[in-house]
A = this chain, B = another copy of it.
Amino acid sequence: MGGTGLVMGTMKAWGMDMSSRAVSPPMLSGSGNGKTVLILGAGLAGMTAAYELGKVGYQCTILEARDFAGGRCQTARAGFRLTELGGEEQQCRFDESYYINHGPWRIPFNHQSTLHYTREFGVPLETFVNDNDAAYLYFEDVDGPLANKPVRQFEIKADLRGQVNELLAKSIHASQLDLPLTGDDKKKLLDYLVNEGYLSASDFSYQGTGGRGYKVNPGAGTEPGPGEASDPLALKDLLASGMGHVYRSVHSFTQQATMFQPVGGMDRIARAFEQRVGNRIRYGMEVGRIRQHGDQVIISGKQLADNGDFELAADYCLCTIPLSVLRHIDTDFSPTFSDAIGQVAYEPTCKIGLQMKRRFWEEDHFIYGGHIRTNLKGIGNISLPSDQWQSAKGVLLGYYNFGANAAEVSAKSLEERTRFALEAGEKIFPGAYQSSCESSFSVAWHRVKYNLGGWAEWNDQARATAYPTLLNAEGRVLLAGEHLSYLTGWMAGAIESSWQQMAKLHAMAQQA
């Protein structure tokens, strides 16, 4: 009678080898037969479950404490309000069409689960520029002459790789190395090093290259004509600065091109789900207690609209509440399960959006999107918008920090946070950054009531013990969310966890 809920979509040709992975929702064969499911939380995990379980005949109701759906999948645009715990109320005052994605803000190409829904729902995507070698590095108080000034990333890459290749190529040529390679392979390796590093084929020296930028760019006529070459930075200075550590051979798995963002803001994804399951959502329902009696799960709490109480019962419950919040809710979960919930740390994280009245990074510096990578404490990257190229204004991400830095920054008032962000940016774009800023909007996710953190941050110990425990059904309750994945902090983690847990719920219901 069906119920092979765990069968996930398979795919071919991922990498060199064939492989399978979650690229589409589980095939839920059989019917939910009208069984009721209370879904706690109208984030992506909860709405995914309502959408898919609804298709096979479950009666889902989503309880959402907020008055909007999406969970952390939020976009701050004009009118958006946020009050952090113990903080002042912020109201976003950006100009029309400008926004900041202060929660998730990019979709890697390999998060096919997220892209499954943007495609199914027809959410228009545009490229998120995650890699821009023209963007500056700015490292403060490092050794050597590269400290405290903006340096283009292509200078760092070209000069480090060029000079490192030069070292290796000259050594190979001089037969200094005892390499595990044949003579023919050594020749091929030399060819590779010369080509990759723009070395001289005759003496293997690196003298710079057009890709690191020119003093004067090539153009028309004879002036500038071919342009004027720029001089490489010294290897010693590059190594002293530590700037080479900002890039690697390839981006890590979740940071690779092509990355996307929905046109108009990340919450377009939340809205697309809401269009389909919004009639199943009850807003302003703050869960306070989870109980199981016999064949029923009973959820009670407060209706925020009238401060009244509610109590609802269902055959099953899928709880997508972040563990950071769930641990404060009154449940009758087993001690093992409750203990597991308590073992998971949540990452403090802050972002700030700064509306600039002029896109000086494009107009004056020719940097279109990407990240200004800094070592400024509490700042991290300054990230430039990938939308509305060449338009009048722009909202950039003034800081994105984690952990202790986030704890420190979040203690500031909005005004202090803004000043903090502007003072940092001014070091990189002197004369333009502070004076261009018209408006700001900040978030400290660990101070947001229904989140209490950016995402679950598992340590090895908790992964080994608490994690498998929390994947199991606790009676008729199943948990789901980014926290029950290895894609924590990503929308794909929420969606894929929901796929897996709904499949378990379905299998359980089929066997009941």
Shortest distance in angstroms between A389's beta carbon and chain B's nearest beta carbon? 5
Is A376 interfacial (CB-CB < 8 Å)?
Answer: no
Shortest distance in angstroms between A495's beta carbon and chain B's nearest beta carbon? 8
Contact B164 A189, beta carbon cutoff 8 Å: yes
Given A19-B217, A188-B239, is A366 in contact with B257 using a C-beta cutoff of 8 Å? no
Of B17, B109, B157, B192, which one neighbours A160 at CB under 8 angstroms? B192
Contact B217 A110, beta carbon cutoff 8 Å: yes
Shortest distance in angstroms between A98's beta carbon and chain B's nearest beta carbon? 16
**Residue ID in chain B nearest A249 by CB atoms:** B161
Alpha-carbon separation in the docked complex, A94 to B394 (Å): 36
Contact A211 B256, beta carbon cutoff 8 Å: yes
| B contact residues around A19 at 8 Å (CB) | 214-217, 228
Of B16, B124, B219, which one neighbours A22 at CB under 8 angstroms? B219
Residues from 219 to 247 in A contacting B, C-beta threshold 8 Å: 219-228, 230, 233, 235-236, 239-240, 242, 244-245, 247
Shortest distance in angstroms between A167's beta carbon and chain B's nearest beta carbon? 6
Is A377 interfacial (CB-CB < 8 Å)?
Answer: no
| B contact residues around A13 at 8 Å (CB) | 150, 364-365
Is A293 interfacial (CB-CB < 8 Å)?
Answer: no
Given A13-B365, A152-B16, is A177 in contact with B188 using a C-beta cutoff of 8 Å? no
The interface-forming segment of A126-134, A327-335, A412-420, A440-448 is A126-134
The interface-forming segment of A35-43, A74-82, A111-119, A307-315 is A111-119
Given A22-B219, A179-B167, A249-B197, is A192 in contact with B487 using a C-beta cutoff of 8 Å? no
Contact A253 B127, beta carbon cutoff 8 Å: no
Is A399 interfacial (CB-CB < 8 Å)?
Answer: no
Contact A258 B129, beta carbon cutoff 8 Å: yes
Contact B16 A192, beta carbon cutoff 8 Å: no
Contact A134 B211, beta carbon cutoff 8 Å: no
Alpha-carbon separation in the docked complex, A471 to B257 (Å): 42
Residues from 396 to 431 in A contacting B, C-beta threshold 8 Å: none
Is A433 interfacial (CB-CB < 8 Å)?
Answer: no
Is A270 interfacial (CB-CB < 8 Å)?
Answer: no
Contact A14 B158, beta carbon cutoff 8 Å: no
Is A370 interfacial (CB-CB < 8 Å)?
Answer: yes
Of B192, B224, B260, which one neighbours A244 at CB under 8 angstroms? B192
Chain copies in the assembled complex: 2
Contact A171 B177, beta carbon cutoff 8 Å: yes
| B contact residues around A499 at 8 Å (CB) | 220
Contact B167 A177, beta carbon cutoff 8 Å: yes
Interface residues on A, range: 35 or more
**Residue ID in chain B nearest A126 by CB atoms:** B126
Is A147 interfacial (CB-CB < 8 Å)?
Answer: no
Given A16-B149, A127-B386, is A132 in contact with B239 using a C-beta cutoff of 8 Å? no
Contact B253 A211, beta carbon cutoff 8 Å: yes
Alpha-carbon separation in the docked complex, A209 to B367 (Å): 30
Q: A14-B214, A127-B386, A224-B486 are in contact. List 18 more A-B contacts (CB 8 A).
A: A14-B217, A16-B230, A19-B215, A109-B134, A126-B126, A129-B257, A132-B257, A133-B257, A154-B250, A176-B176, A195-B245, A211-B252, A214-B253, A219-B486, A221-B500, A222-B468, A222-B471, A257-B370
In the A-B complex, list the 10 residue pairs whose CB atoms are closest, starting with the nearest.
Answer: A161-B249, A15-B213, A127-B127, A220-B485, A220-B496, A258-B368, A211-B250, A220-B497, A210-B253, A188-B239
A interface with B by C-beta (< 8 Å): 6, 11-17, 19-22, 109-110, 112-113, 115, 118-119, 124-127, 129, 131-134, 149-152, 154-155, 157-158, 160-162, 164-165, 167-168, 171, 176-179, 181, 185, 188-189, 191-193, 195-198, 209-228, 230, 233, 235-236, 239-240, 242, 244-245, 247-253, 256-258, 260, 364-370, 386, 389-390, 467-468, 471, 484-487, 492-493, 496-497, 499-501
27 contacts between A and B (CB under 8 A): A12-B364, A13-B150, A13-B364, A14-B366, A15-B214, A16-B230, A109-B134, A110-B134, A119-B390, A127-B369, A132-B258, A133-B251, A134-B257, A154-B256, A157-B249, A164-B189, A192-B244, A196-B247, A197-B248, A197-B249, A209-B250, A211-B249, A217-B253, A219-B487, A220-B486, A220-B487, A220-B493
